[in-house]
Amino acid sequence: MGRYKYHDDWEISYQYDCHFFVKCRSLKDALWIASLIDDNSLITVHADCEHDGVKTTAHVGIRIREARGKSISEIIELFDIQVDEYMRTAEPGVYAIGDVVPTAWLAHVASKEGCVAAEHIAGRDPQPINYDRIPNCTYCEPEIGSVGLSEAKAKERGYDVKVGKFPFSALAKAKILGETEGFVKVVTKAEYDEVLGVHIIGPQATDLLAEACVALGLEATAEELGRIMHAHPTLSEAVMEAAEAVHGMATSI
């Protein structure tokens, strides 16, 4: 089975692969694309999935109104409006945000881009978006949440990294919920202990990610994140314990 590619963290990918293999045996055998139709104005995907004798069919179409008479490459160019850090285009007085600019196609990204543009139009001095700190969420089973740099990406940028991991299987609240699969992984810059990224797979991962976003936004260190008292029993303790694990100080394992 081909590896599920999530962000840049191979451990998250491997964990999800293991889960999916157990649940669905084999992606290759369970899911196949029946047809893919592109008529320049409507791209349609027809997919079938069969598991335990139950067959499911999905039919998804994406309509591009401006596509008349244009090739696929020309269509893509329609969604590539270049902007500066304040979302200004090359046309004076014209701003662009969201899916028409070459940033992540996520609602929360477009919303913040809109805020930056609106504040700049109003004559304020907004803080440009740091696209390295965009929260990425995958609403699957188990959930996946990630913000900041992966271990591999941090190393590519030349950082000497230290990593802390903590499994939900060692967490009281996860045991209470009966959802012990997954872990929290904290990636830090070894020299200054600054948190570079947090990656989560497990119960309510997309909600737990908010704390990680705050930590990165405030340039917190792993020591600072680990010293913050978290209520017990809660799932959020996994974030604290993973930060402690960076220095071998996790208390529950």
pLDDT, tens only, 159-171:
999 999 999 999 9
Q: Token digits for 238?
A: 């996994």
Domain-wise residue ranges, the chain: 1-68, 133-245
Residue 9: predicted pLDDT: 80
What is the average pLDDT value for the chain, to the nearest integer?
84
Q: Exactly one of 51, 59, 230, 232 is catalytic; which is it?
A: 232
Residue 18: predicted pLDDT: 73
**What 3-state DSSP class applies to 245?**
helix
**For 12-63, how does the pLDDT look when each residue is reduced to its tens digit (9 = 90+)?**
877 777 766 666 555 555 555 556 666 655 566 666 666 656 566 665 655 5
How many other CB atoms are found less than 10 A from the CB of residue 6?
22
Report the C-alpha gap between 203 and 198 in whole angstroms: 15
Q: Give me the half-sphere count of Cα atoms (radius 13 Å) on the Cβ side of residue 118.
A: 6
Report the C-alpha gap between 59 and 172 in whole angstroms: 41
> What is the maximum alpha-carbon separation in the chain?
63
**For 124-159, how does the pLDDT look when each residue is reduced to its tens digit (9 = 90+)?**
999 999 999 999 999 988 999 999 999 999 999 999
User: CB neighbours of 130 closer than 8 A, spacing ≥ 6?
Assistant: none
Residue 234: predicted pLDDT: 98
Give the number of residues written for the chain: 253
Residue 232 annotated as catalytic: yes
Q: Give me the half-sphere count of Cα atoms (radius 13 Å) on the Cβ side of residue 245.
A: 20
Lowest-confidence pick of 22-36, 83-97, 107-121, 165-179: 22-36
Residue linked to tokens 């993973």: 242
Confidence of residue 1 (pLDDT cuts 50, 70, 90): very low
Report the C-alpha gap between 183 and 19 in whole angstroms: 13
Report the C-alpha gap between 132 and 226 in whole angstroms: 22
Confidence of residue 174 (pLDDT cuts 50, 70, 90): very high
0.85 exceeded by the pTM? Answer: no
Q: What is the mean pLDDT of residues 99-114?
A: 92
Q: What is the mean pLDDT of residues 229-234?
A: 97
Report the C-alpha gap between 166 and 128 in whole angstroms: 33
pLDDT at 71 over 80: no
User: What is the C-alpha R_g of the chain?
Assistant: 21
CATH class (in words) of the domain with range 133-245: alpha beta
